[in-house]
Amino acid sequence: MTNSAAGSVPVARGYLEQGKRKGIPGWLLSTDHKRIGVLYLGTMLTFFFVAVLIGVLMRIEQLTLNPPLFAAQTYNAFFTLHGVIMIFLFVLPGLSAVFGNFFLPIMIGAEDVAFPRLNLASWYFFITGALLAVVALFTGNGPPDTGWTFYAPFSIRTGTNVTLGVFAAFVLGFSSILTGLNFITTVHRMRAPGMHWHRMPLFIWSLYATAWIQVLATPILGITLLLVIAERLFGIGVFDPAKGGDPILYQHLFWIYSHPAVYIMIVPAMGAISEIIPTFAHRTIFGYKAIAYSSMAIAALGSLVWGHHMFTSGMADQANAVFSLLTFLVAVPSAIKVFNWTATLYKGSIELKPAMLYALTFIFLFAIGGLTGVIQGALNVNVHLHDTYWIVGHFHYVMFGGTGVGFLAALLYWFPKMFGKMYNQTMAVVAWFPIFIGFNIFYFTMLVLGYMGMPRRYFTHLPQYHEAHVIASIGAFIMVFGLLLFFGNLLAALWKGKTAEANPWGGVTLEWQTSSPPPLENFETRPEIHGRPYAFNPETNR
Amino acid sequence: MSKPAAALTHTGPKDYQGAKLGMWIFLFTELLLFGGLFILYSSYRAIYPHDFHEGGRHLNVVLGVVNTVFLLTSSLTVAVSISALRKGNRRLTLQCLGATIVLGILFLANKYIEWSEEIRRGIYPNGPELEKLPNGEKIFYGLYYSMTGLHGLHVLAGVVVLTVMLAFVIKNRVTAADYVKLENAGLYWHLVDVIWIFLLPMLYLAA
Amino acid sequence: MEPAQEHSPISPYQTLVQVWLVLLLLTAILVFVSTKYHEALSVWAMLTLTPLKAGLVFYYFMHLKYEKPFLKTMVLIAIAALLIFIGLTFLDILQR
């Protein structure tokens, strides 16, 4: 299974020590896709934990009923920031920015992406946008209080720092667009000899589909944000009812991007799961083409359903009905993936390594999230569930239970390759228990709270909801404890972990054919591909 | 069989097709960026058909058409400049590139005259004359300034890029053998022209 | 990636000038129809002639005629995405 030629002579510490420049400039000015991936990882996790902290404060607020610990305006800023940071600075860049950057070239046998300097520019747009968002916190009349969705007309009228916050999001959009552009070109132009489209690993297909969404949908958000700024600064009137503007049109433009955005968030995570499952089932993936094409189908269909965020906005009935039907349809390609992953397990030789445990968890949590999505896609039900905690529970199941847990699984899978160190696998499994148990206590309770009528984005609540809020908050604290265990384990491994082999898991895709960590040029000699991916058993081709 | 990885990279021989593909993808993002404004325009036109019709009356059709001629001609000149470069006619290349830049600047000057006139007459967001007009016309002008303003910024960026290309051709950093930078700049410029092709009837000929 | 890259044919000057003349002609027709005729006709003129002009720029000036089918497909997908966004939004707008 292990290619004896690969990684048998560790080249110092690979890309971690090779490069044109040394020290900090070597990291901040490097156009090496692997270093850029690591830069994203470090900065994104920092933002993630800031947003987690804000989330903890929000849960404390709901624990303190008489009187609440924070004022209403403060809480409004909290949920806005929590959303903006989590969505724009963690989940959207997500697995693409970290694992896509690191592994896309390696998995297709290339030396780097098509436009390495543009790649570095993407990261600088990311950091600039993040810094602008931080500045928006402390200047002017304080942080935005509109929610991360910046709905007009409130976003036009409120005195808080919406202009700067929205501009920060605009800058972040460039990061996403340029990464998508880079990835599409790389996949078209830089595959190794023999790497036909249908021999590419499924993670690459998922990155490719995601890249198209990034390129086609993000500009719509860009123009919408610019128009909010133009409204606030010049009063152009397009979203202002006082001048004949239609706030529902704002929602259309906003969600034309922001719905496909959730597929930017989830599809790469699904791609990572498609890598992990075959490796630890020691079996080829079931339905390679179905999974590959379903990624493209999700990208396409997912662009047609945005109206389901607007069922109660005043949109016309016919539009409501069409969007509801399309929403049911978009569940199909996702379900296809779930069936194929499950079928891959059948008659496989399953090894429950940490990455596999978290990958299976992904399937479970994402299924719940997806199913709740279909439920709220029904018009009559949506009238009651819209803007309640049900919605909050739903999107945390898909974004956190889905993308978040997928990110954790990918980290457990690829950490040894990226850093050449092995973490404590027992600890990774130990951390799973509080994460999984806490997660479900927390977010399932939210589904119940929403069903009972608890509205979202409220700084306090009626006494009848208090018991459930206490349960949810306890679940949250347990979950956060688990996250600290998880990341503490990985941090410790960076310093004190044992050296990792080139192929600790017995994977068959190209990244396992080079050393851990990989050398600067990724491979000693350029690979040539002769057969299907995921060929664990060449005789039976399974 | 297997070549050393270093020999097959893009630090070495450039990938012409890849560079062009990258530019086309960037153009898609520009298409969708303006596309958001097109979504708004078409929606509001359906909501306020009369006011949009009336709004166009205050615009100067002659200046709009003149600008159209400027841009269409500049597309011709930049396309000719690329053919000329590939055929080895450096003089024609430089003349046509220069003409493209001049036409771009003329477009911007024209736009400045137009806007100045409209602002002088009080027709701008929150301006005295616009306040008196019905809501639909307020929206029309909000879109007019947004679309032509965003477009104008792109024209300005294009003029800057083309000037840099002119310098590159003079310094032989863009040649008949390696002309993809100029071709990509041309592609960008053509898209700016295409956007204006739509803006002319949407704004000026709406009346 | 092929070491020797294919470059598409050079656009002849004559073709470029001809396309330019057609574009000017189409513009003249558009202006004429919209200033002289009933609104419905001018809207139809706009909806047909304007995409035609844009198509000429794409096909000849932007060299799309000589590009590989996959790039032509990508252009169509980008345009289709925009049209679908407008179309689905109109499902709402037209009913209110």
Mean pLDDT score across all residues of chain B: 92
Q: Are A216 and C94 in contact (CB < 8 Å)?
A: no
Alpha-carbon distance A185 to B25, whole Å? Answer: 9
Q: Are A249 and C89 in contact (CB < 8 Å)?
A: yes
> In this structure, what token pair is assigned to residue A218?
């993000």
Tell me the pLDDT tens digit for each residue of A9-22: 444 588 998 888 88
Alpha-carbon distance B74 to B89, whole Å? Answer: 19
Burial (CB < 10 A; 0-12, 13-18, 19+), residue B193, is: buried
H helix or E strand, kind and range, residue A190: none
Domains of chain A with bracketed CATH? 34-513 (1.20.210.10)
Query: Which amino acid, one-letter code, is at A323?
Result: F
Mean pLDDT score across all residues of chain A: 94
Q: Give the pLDDT band (50/70/90) at residue A137.
A: confident
Which residue would you say has higher pLDDT here, C58 or A537? Answer: C58
Tell me the pLDDT tens digit for each residue of C10-57: 999 999 999 999 999 999 999 998 888 777 788 888 889 999 999 999
Alpha-carbon distance C96 to C84, whole Å? Answer: 19
Alpha-carbon distance A169 to A130, whole Å? Answer: 8
Contacts of C95 in chain A (CB under 8 A): 316-319
> In this structure, what token pair is assigned to residue A209?
């589909």
Contacts of A185 in chain B (CB under 8 A): 18, 21-22, 25
- What ipTM goes with this model? 0.93
B177-182 average pLDDT score: 94
> In this structure, what token pair is assigned to residue B191?
């898209």
Closest-CA distance of chain B to residue C57, Å = 7
Residue C1 has what pLDDT? 45
Nearest Cβ partner for A316 among C77, C78, C95? C95
> Which residue of chain B is at minimal alpha-carbon distance from A243?
B135
Determine contact: C91 vs chain A, CB below 8 A. yes
Tell me the pLDDT tens digit for each residue of A60-98: 999 998 899 999 999 999 999 999 999 999 999 999 999
Residue A5 has pLDDT above 50, yes or no: no
pTM: 0.94
Residue A304 has what pLDDT? 95
Contacts of C5 in chain B (CB under 8 A): 15-17
H helix or E strand, kind and range, residue A422: strand A421-422
Q: Give the pLDDT band (50/70/90) at residue A451.
A: very high
Q: Which CATH architecture group holds B31-204?
A: Up-down Bundle (1.20)
Residue B6 has pLDDT above 50, yes or no: no
Which residues in chain B (139-158) have CB-CB distances under 8 A to chain A?
Answer: 139, 141-143, 145-146, 150
- The count of other CB atoms within 10 Å of the CB of residue A9 is 8
Please report, for chain B, the start and end positions of each structural domain, with discontinuous segments joined by +.
Answer: 31-204
**Three-class SS state of A272:** helix
Is there a contact between A324 and A378 (Cβ–Cβ < 8 Å)? Answer: yes
Q: Are B15 and C34 in contact (CB < 8 Å)?
A: no
Burial (CB < 10 A; 0-12, 13-18, 19+), residue A472, is: buried
